[in-house]
Structure 1
């Protein structure tokens, strides 16, 4: 490998990490992750069986199907936030509403854990906005006697103010 081909010398984990960071920055990643994590306990707890020694505790309720639907919808909305960032506001509002509906239907919203995760994830999705691309560097401004701006070193178009707070006559 030569020094002129740095991409070939780069470790594949570093490349994967950089690409994942770029992918993550273009969408509401944490909102989607929290929404998916909020849907899991909401869908899981009504069908769970806990064992304490010889005793088995079933958490099955009459609203098991409703909690399964809410949990699967929250997981789907979280994945939608990742892969279709354009509909993030809809997905966020729907996640908030489903989290609120899960309180009476799905064992207090997955014992409040799923409710809080889905509620925060939905709020993050609604609040997220795509980043602004970096601004282009300013072009030099032409000064008196230099019509093409070739000798100009000033990059702002405002008046020039000296150290005493007075405006220069050139600006």
Structure 2
């Protein structure tokens, strides 16, 4: 009986996932945190401390937060996928010069892929449009 609850939850999640650009939103959500993290991070490798000073901390903060918001919009407002995808793509490109090479490419690449996937995704047709072919009368 324990398996029935898991199977039911899995079916509901699969149904939810198939009605929206799920992977586009997931990649976009993953693109935001690296862009947010690196301008404010003090990374240490053993005894060596790596500090990435930047004057674009505000730009990185804005880009990272907007990418997370765009990922959530792709999941919860699938009809906004084109505008969210274009916004994600542009923000990811802007993050390259503004936010330490797009979070050292850890935010740039998922953002570009997520934006592209959002623009190319289309919902499944719920009702078949198979209509009989019209005859030409001859």
Give the TM-score of the pair, scaled to structure 2.
Answer: 0.89
Distance apart, 1:47 and its partner CA: 1.1
- The corresponding residue for 1:74 is 67
Distance apart, 1:51 and its partner CA: 1.0
Distance apart, 1:55 and its partner CA: 2.3
- Correspondence for 1:92 among 60, 82, 85: 85
Structure number with bigger Rg: 1
- The corresponding residue for 2:104 is 111
**What do you get for the CA RMSD once the two structures are aligned?**
2.3
Distance apart, 1:115 and its partner CA: 0.6
For structure 1, which segment, 115-124 or 9-18, has the greater mean C-alpha deviation from structure 2 after superposition? 9-18
Task: Measure, in 2, the Cα distance between the counterparts of 1:98 and 1:137.
Answer: 40
Gaps in structure 1 of 5+ consecutive residues: 1-7, 139-155, 159-171
Gaps in structure 2 of 5+ consecutive residues: none
Task: Measure, in 2, the Cα distance between the counterparts of 1:54 and 1:128.
Answer: 47
Report 1 or 2 for greater relative contact order, CA contacts < 8 Å, sequence distance ≥ 6: 2
Equivalenced residue count is 135
Query: Does the residue aligned with 1:132 lie in a helix, a strand or coil?
Result: coil
Instruction: Answer 1 or 2: which has greater helix percent.
Output: 2
